[in-house]
Amino acid sequence: MAHTLTEKIIAEHLVSGEMNPGEEIAIRIDQTLTQDATGTMAYLQFEALEIPRVKTELSVSYVDHNTLQTGFENADDHRYLQTVAAKHGVYFSRPGNGICHQVHLERFGIPGKTLLGSDSHTPTAGGLGMLAIGAGGLDVAAAMAGEPFYLNMPEVVGVLLTGELTGWATAKDVILELLRRLTVKGGVGKVFEYFGPGVETLSVPERATITNMGAELGATSSVFPSDQVTHQFLLAQQREEAFSPLAADADAEYSEVIELDLSQIEPMVARPHMPDRVVPVRQLEGLEVDQVCIGSCTNSSLKDLMMAAAIMKDRTVSERTSLVISPGSRQVEEMIARNGALADLLAAGARVLEPACGPCIGMGQAPPSGGVSVRTFNRNFLGRSGTADAGIYLTSPEIAAVVAIHGRFVDPTRMFEPPIVSLPEIFEVDDSMIIPPPDDPSDVEVKRGPNIQFVELREDLPDQIEATVLLKVGDNITTDDIMPAGAKILPLRSNIPAISQYVFSGIDPDFPDRALTQAPGVILGGENYGQGSSREHAALAPMHLGIAAVVAESFARIHKANLVNFGILPLEIAAEDYEALEQGDRLRMDDVRKALRENTPVTATVNRTGQEITLSYDLSDRERQILLAGGRLNYIRQRQS
């Protein structure tokens, strides 16, 4: 039988389950990655599993998010991460070496392998033909301990690429076009597999821009074949041995095929405050812009920055606009420093930051009040930039550079041709900022600062839950809404009691106090609850605040898994019942354990109306066991004893 590339990689890694879409399967994980903002929790949890050395082929710990050191917290986290990596056989990519996804693509990715990362943009490595998936830190900790990764077998959607990009159209516009068509929930439960004659016209970093932002579709992953272009990329990275050709069978069947003629793509932009609010750039012509940021794991490859530099060369940033550049990796930064592109950017007035996530996660460079910020990033959620009323527009580096010169949106299509940049055949490779783990770690002492607090665990799931609806929110609530990031809150990622004081702080600052005084509580949400990042803090902190269940019309994949991992029931509610419930209502749920054991819906009585509502769920046998045990760490421990 003919297979898609996704099916081939899954089949090769299948540990249990049948490959029928929607059914739970378990796959072996070859590689893991963590970043510092989720990594501290992941390694604390790994330590709790008491496994001396990681069992993966390769595990890498990156420091790229919390690089602003305004107090001891982030520096303590970095030191903990470095020492715990050395102790347990993990490579450590030092702060300053670059963004995890960019560095992993350059230095570690291998076509055909599986990669699990505690960051939702882990699918970036799909640009290299890996099956790369984002997950919560605990799932990554379990993978490092040699446990398989459990997921629902995705549907495989084929994206047939024909033609070739022309003029100012870029890979960013390909994925923005898909977001325009499919929306931020269009990819839930799916892997997007690219195929067809257009594939070979895209370089690996361009493919990675597309697979990176597949996360914004809510997709489980996105993957490109491994071909001649992949071979060339690995050669340039001096890693030719990692190459193997991979593709779907010619007559493979996709659950659905989406056709994209690359020659028809035009420059696009996602307007505030969702990545799917996409329109052609020409529609925004004239809109004045306060800030332009070029960088992030979506768009900060060598070509991206060289294009921006070529456009800016001999020009000056508009006096109305501040231009900020954050290279994706030290390799990229060093190469633009040596080839003169960095000098061109500096001469044009760019403000250059270290290679890290930076403004993408609100680590500095917040725009002015009510400001318009044009960014080459992947997310433009309200408040994520650090300025509550700023509007973020997502676009390509090319358009961002043009905008920076003019201080307003311009569609360059009819004005001038984009510059042509040539890339070297061999890239500069220097892995001196990646520390390999020692063979014998017995001398390594794991160093913890006062901000690093291990997390308390939940008791077994009670049989009867009486809980208050503490908050009612709408559709597409993001993990940035639930557990905001930014320079002030991120340093508390390894301190759950402290960070939980910020849960829903952008929506309802009284939420944490109300939750603690009225526990147990319920959060009521609409569709696609928990979209966006993989941060398990969006489940861990609500757990600390006594949240027993999230009742929503539907859930985003990673967040739902995180809720299960921390013993919070992800219950589904019908649209009319969602409408009828009000904040402050009390719900009584009886025989919850029995329902979960028997895989039957939970019935809740609403005190205000006396009405009974049915709360269903879509959980595997294993997930129900985890919930009964009060979370995954309890579950693993109970199975070990």
Residue closer to ligand SF4, measured from CB, 226 or 478: 478
Counts for the chain of helices (H) and strands (E), in that order: 22, 27
Write down the least CB distance from residue 459 to ligand MIC, Å. Answer: 27
Contact 214/123 with Cβ under 8 angstroms? yes
Q: Identify which of 2, 70, 59 has the alpha carbon closest to the alpha carbon of residue 33.
A: 59
Could you say whether residue 121 binds ligand MIC (CB under 6 A)?
Answer: yes
**Is residue 227 among the annotated active site residues?**
no
Contacted entry of ligand SF4, ligand MIC, none for residue 277, CB cut-off 5 to 8 Å set by kind: none
Could you say whether residue 535 binds ligand MIC (CB under 6 A)?
Answer: yes
Write down the least CB distance from residue 134 to ligand MIC, Å. Answer: 6
* Residue where the block lists tokens 């069947």: 253
Q: Other C-beta atoms within 10 Å of 475: how many?
A: 15
Binders in 342-381 for ligand MIC, by CB under 6 A? 361, 379
Contacted entry of ligand MIC, ligand SF4, none for residue 535, CB cut-off 5 to 8 Å set by kind: ligand MIC
Sequence-ordered list of residues with C-beta below 8 angstroms from that of 271, at least 6 positions apart, any chain: 277, 278, 279, 284, 380, 391, 393
Write down the least CB distance from residue 293 to ligand MIC, Å. Answer: 14
Among 361, 399, 595, 615, binds ligand SF4 (CB under 6 A): 361
DSSP 73-96: HHHHHHHHHHHHHHHHT-EEE-TT
* Residue where the block lists tokens 């003029």: 167
Contact 127/99 with Cβ under 8 angstroms? no
The stretch among 118-126, 250-258, 281-289, 416-424 that binds ligand MIC (CB under 6 A) is 118-126
Residue closer to ligand MIC, measured from CB, 35 or 468: 35
Could you say whether residue 300 binds ligand MIC (CB under 6 A)?
Answer: no
CA distance 81 to 173: 36
Contacted entry of ligand MIC, ligand SF4, none for residue 127, CB cut-off 5 to 8 Å set by kind: none
Site string for ligand MIC, 40-79 (x = CB under 6 A): -------------------------x--------------
Residue closer to ligand MIC, measured from CB, 379 or 624: 379
Among 29, 357, 400, 548, binds ligand SF4 (CB under 6 A): 357
Catalytic residue among 533, 534, 554, 620: 533
Contact 120/134 with Cβ under 8 angstroms? yes
Q: Alpha-carbon dihedral of residues 478, 36, 219, 248, nearest 10 degrees?
A: 170
Binders in 72-131 for ligand SF4, by CB under 6 A? 99, 119, 121
CA distance 9 to 13: 6
Q: How many residues bind ligand SF4 (CB under 6 A)?
A: 11
Q: Helix, strand, or coil here: 4?
A: coil
Catalytic residue among 107, 121, 535, 624: 535
Residue closer to ligand MIC, measured from CB, 118 or 468: 118
Residue closer to ligand SF4, measured from CB, 112 or 327: 327
CA distance 554 to 576: 14
Could you say whether residue 119 binds ligand MIC (CB under 6 A)?
Answer: yes
Contacted entry of ligand SF4, ligand MIC, none for residue 296, CB cut-off 5 to 8 Å set by kind: ligand SF4
Could you say whether residue 281 binds ligand MIC (CB under 6 A)?
Answer: no
Residue closer to ligand SF4, measured from CB, 66 or 183: 66
**Is residue 621 among the annotated active site residues?**
no
Q: Helix, strand, or coil here: 607?
A: coil
Site string for ligand MIC, 514-533 (x = CB under 6 A): ------------------xx
Residue closer to ligand SF4, measured from CB, 56 or 296: 296
* Residue where the block lists tokens 């939940």: 458
Q: Identify which of 294, 287, 291 has the alpha carbon closest to the alpha carbon of residue 322.
A: 291
Catalytic residue among 107, 121, 207, 379: 379
**Is residue 533 among the annotated active site residues?**
yes
Residue 250, token pair as written in the block: 């010619």
Q: Which helix (H) or strand (E) holds 6?
A: helix 5-13
Contacted entry of ligand MIC, ligand SF4, none for residue 534, CB cut-off 5 to 8 Å set by kind: ligand MIC
Helices 302-312 and 330-339 meet at what angle, rounded to 10? 40
**Is residue 119 among the annotated active site residues?**
yes
CA distance 309 to 68: 26
Write down the least CB distance from residue 361 to ligand SF4, Å. Answer: 4
B/e letters for 462-473, b = 16+ CB within 10 Å, e = fewer, are eeebebbbbbbb
Could you say whether residue 297 binds ligand SF4 (CB under 6 A)?
Answer: yes
Among 120, 318, 326, 451, binds ligand MIC (CB under 6 A): 120
Q: Which helix (H) or strand (E) holds 100?
A: helix 100-107
Write down the least CB distance from residue 488 to ligand MIC, Å. Answer: 14
Could you say whether residue 534 binds ligand MIC (CB under 6 A)?
Answer: yes
Contacted entry of ligand SF4, ligand MIC, none for residue 99, CB cut-off 5 to 8 Å set by kind: ligand SF4
CA distance 393 to 283: 13
Catalytic residue among 13, 36, 61, 64: 64
Residue type, 16: S
**Is residue 535 among the annotated active site residues?**
yes
Contacted entry of ligand SF4, ligand MIC, none for residue 38, CB cut-off 5 to 8 Å set by kind: ligand MIC
Residue closer to ligand SF4, measured from CB, 318 or 395: 395
Classify burial at 498, counting beta carbons within 10 Å of its beta carbon; exposed 0-12, middle 13-18, buried 19 or more: middle
Residue 269, token pair as written in the block: 């932009």
Q: What is the 3-state secondary structure (H, E, C) of 382-443?
A: CCCCCCCCCEEEECCHHHHHHHHHHCECCCHHHCCCCCCCCCCCCCCCCCCCEECCCCCCCC
Q: Identify which of 493, 487, 96 has the alpha carbon closest to the alpha carbon of residue 326.
A: 96
Could you say whether residue 378 binds ligand SF4 (CB under 6 A)?
Answer: yes
Question: HSE-up of 266 (CA within 13 Å, CB side)?
Answer: 10
Binders in 401-440 for ligand SF4, by CB under 6 A? none
Contacted entry of ligand MIC, ligand SF4, none for residue 104, CB cut-off 5 to 8 Å set by kind: none
Residues in touch with ligand MIC (CB under 6 A) = 37-38, 65, 119-121, 134, 361, 379, 485, 532-535
Catalytic residues: 64-65, 119, 379, 533, 535
Residues in touch with ligand SF4 (CB under 6 A) = 65, 99, 119, 121, 296-297, 357, 360-361, 377-378
